[in-house]
Structure 1
Amino acid sequence: MRHRTLLAAAVAVLLVVSGCTALPSFGESGQSPPDVDVVDRYESLESLEAVQKSTIDYGNTTNGSRSTVRIDFTSDPPRQFQRVREPADRAGDVTVVNDSGALIYDASDNSVTRVPQTETRTTARQNRSEYFARIVAAARSDEVAEPSSGVSPLPVVPATGGSPIPADAIEGFDVEYLGTQTVADRTAHGFEMTATSEAALSLNQTLWLDSKYYYPLKTHQVLDYGNRTIETTTQLTSVTFNTDLSDDAFEFSVPEDATVDTLNISTQTFDTVAELRDHTELSVPDPEVPDGYEFQQARLFGENVTEVNLRYANGDGDFISVSKMDYVSNGSSGLSTGENVTVAGHDGQYLTTGQSQLLMWSCEDRQYSVVSTNLDREHLVAVAESIACE
Structure 2
Amino acid sequence: MGRQTLLAVAVAALLVTSGCTGLDVLADGAATPSDVDVAQRYDSLDTLEATRVTTVDDGTTTNETRALVRVDFTTDPPRRYQRTLAPESRAGDVTVLNESGALLYDADENTVRRVPRIDGWTTRNQSAYLARIVAAAHGDGVAEVSDGVSPLPIIPTTRSGPSIPEDAIEGFEVEYLGTQRVAGRTAHGFELTAVSEAALTANQTLWLDSEYYYPLKTSRRIDYRNRTIEATSRLKTVTFDADLPADAFHFDVPEDATGETLNVSTQTFDSASALREHVDFSVPDPEVPAAYEFDEAQYVSGNVTQASLQYVTADGEQLTVTKTTSGPNANGWFTSGENVTVAGHDSQYLTTPRSNFVSWSCGDTRYAVVATDLEKESLLAVADSVGCE
Instruction: Please indicate, yes or no, whether the TM-score normalized by the shorter chain is above 0.5.
Output: yes
**In the alignment, is residue 113 of structure 1 matched against residue 99 of structure 2?**
no
Which residue in 2 is equivalent to 1:259?
258
Q: 1:337 to 1:142 in 2, by over 3 A?
A: same
> Kindly tell me: are residues 143 and 339 of structure 1, through their superposed partners in 2, closer, same or farther at Cα, counting changes over 3 Å?
closer
**2:43 maps to which residue?**
43
| CA-CA distance at 1:45 after TM superposition | 0.6
Deviation at 1:223, TM superposition (A): 4.5
Instruction: State the 1:255 CA deviation.
Output: 1.9
- Residues 336-351 of structure 1 aligned to structure 2 (within 5 Å): 336-351=335-350
- Counterparts of residues 81-92 of structure 1 (less than 5 Å): 81-92=81-92
State the 1:155 CA deviation. 6.8
Q: 1:134 to 1:290 in 2, by over 3 A?
A: closer
Identity among equivalent positions (%) equals 55
- 1:24-173 paired onto structure 2 within 5 Å: 24-27=24-27, 29-33=29-33, 35-119=35-119, 124=124, 127-140=125-138, 142=140, 144-145=142-143, 152-154=150-152, 168-173=168-173
> Deviation digits for residues 111-149 of structure 1, max 9, x if unmatched?
22211112379673xx32233333334445556555796
Contact 2:201 2:352 in 1 (8 A): no
Q: Tell me by how many angstroms 1:283 deviates.
A: 1.8
CA contact (8 A) 1:346 1:362 kept: yes
Matches within 5 A, 1:314-329: 314-327=313-326, 329=328
Structure 2 Cα separation of the partners of residues 107 and 149 of structure 1: 42
Structure 1 contact 169–198 (Cα < 8 Å) conserved? no
Q: Deviations over 1:173-222 (max 9, x none)?
A: 232241x3221122222234444446688765332111221111012233
Once the two structures are superposed, the pairs formed by residues 242-281 of structure 1 within 5 Å of their partners are 242-281=241-280
Gap change, CA 1:16 and 1:227, over 3 Å in 2? same
2: CA distance, partners of 1:44 / 1:246: 20
Unaligned runs of 5+ in 2: 155-166
Asked whether the equivalents of residues 206 and 215 of structure 2 are also in contact (C-alpha less than 8 Å), the reply is yes
Counterpart in the other structure of 1:161: none
What is the total number of aligned residue pairs between the two structures?
Answer: 375
Partner of 2:214: 215
Partner deviation per Cα, 1:74-105 (whole Å, 9 max, x = no partner): 11111001122333443332211111111122
What is the CA–CA distance in structure 2 between the aligned matches of 1:367 and 1:142, rounded to whole Å?
43
Residue 311 of structure 2 corresponds to 312
* Shift in alpha-carbon separation, 1:343–1:70, aligned structure 2, 3 A: same
**1:34-84 deviation per Cα after TM superposition (whole angstroms, max 9, x unaligned):** 543222211111111111112233333444322221100011111001122
Counterpart contact for 1:131–1:147, Cα < 8 Å: no
Give the distance between the partners of 2:379 and 2:122, measured in 1 at CA: 29
1-structure distance, mates of 2:123, 2:128: 11
The amino acid across from 1:249 in the alignment is: A
* Structure 1 gap segments, 5+ residues each: 157-166
Residue identity matched to 1:323: T
Check conservation: 1:155, 1:353, Cα contact below 8 A: no
SS across alignment from 2:321: strand
For residues 313 and 137 of structure 2, what CA distance do their matches in structure 1 show? Answer: 35
Counterpart residue type for residue 128 of structure 2: E
Q: Give me the whole-angstrom Cα distance separating, in 2, the residues matched to 1:371 and 1:249.
A: 40
- 1:281 positional shift: 1.0
Change (3 A) 1:148 1:131: farther
Counterpart code for 2:272: V
Letter in 2 for 1:389: C
For the residues of structure 1 that align with 2:348 and 2:121, how far apart are their CA atoms?
32
In structure 1, C-alpha distance between the alignment counterparts of 2:76 and 2:250, rounded to whole Å: 16
Deviations 1:352-385 (A, max 9, x none): 2211122222222222111111222333222222
Distance in 1 between residues matched to 2:375 and 2:28, nearest whole Å: 45
Cα deviations by residue, 1:156-188 (Å, 9 ceiling, x for unpaired): 9xxxxxxxxxx955423232241x322112222
Separation (CA, whole Å) in 1 of partners of 2:247 and 2:146 = 33
Q: For residues 227-254 of structure 1, give each alpha carbon's deviation from its aligned partner in whole angstroms, at most 9, with x where no partner exists.
A: 4433221101121110122232111111
C-alpha distance in 2 between matches for 1:147 and 1:50: 33
Partner of 1:289: 288
Q: What is the SS of the residue equivalent to 2:247? A: helix
Q: Which residue of 2 aligns with 1:163?
A: none
Contact residue 10 and residue 104 of structure 1 kept, 8 A:
no
Q: Is the 1:177–1:191 contact (alpha carbons within 8 Å) kept by the matching residues of 2?
A: yes
Structure 1 SS opposite 2:326: coil
CA contact (8 A) 1:128 1:148 kept: no
CA 1:196–1:174: 2 relative to 1, 3 Å: farther
Alignment of 1:188-207 (within 5 A): 188-197=187-196, 204-207=203-206
Deviates more, 1:95-104 or 1:130-139: 130-139
Say if 1:272 and 1:261 are closer, same or farther in 2 by CA, change over 3 A.
same
Residue aligned with 1:310, SS: strand
- Which amino acid is 1:231 matched to? E
Equivalent residue letter for 2:247: D
Write the letter of the residue equivalent to 1:244. D
Q: Provide the TM-score with structure 1 as the length reference.
A: 0.84
